[in-house]
Amino acid sequence: MTNLPPMPNTPPPMPVSKPAGKRRRNLIVAAVVAVALLVGGGIYWLTRPSYDETVKSCAKALTAQMKAGGKGKPSACDGVKKDDYDTLVISAAIGGLSKTDKDTLDYYDNGTIDGSIG
């Protein structure tokens, strides 16, 4: 190889950057952090109860609370939407009614118009 002088009007050679090792290390750290966040988020998402499970536990809590005579919203119902919660409350109230109650109006109607109501 010969050491010739540079050609006139040619730009000087570009300096070689040495921080390629730092850049690679930063990319590796960023990739490891991203993978850790994805794995952690996936585990968190998979371990949470589904909405259906939350609604079922809320229904059980409402039934137990009505039998015990308690009032208020059970903590098991925190994740339930308002419309669904209202439906569960009505369902628990209706389910808690006695099956042996009779009509408070004590009358007999034989189905004809003959004055049997009275």
Give 23-92 as a DSSP string. Answer: HHHHHHHHHHHHHHHHHHHHHHHHHSPPHHHHHHHHHHHHHHHHHHT--S--GGGTTS-HHHHHHHHHHH
Residue 39: pLDDT band with limits 50, 70, 90: very high
Higher pLDDT, 33 or 107: 33
For residue 107, pLDDT over 60 is answered with: no
Provide the residue type at 103 as one letter. Answer: D
pTM of the prediction? 0.49
Mean pLDDT of 15-27: 77
For residue 42, pLDDT over 60 is answered with: yes
| Dist. CA 51–CA 66, nearest whole Å | 22
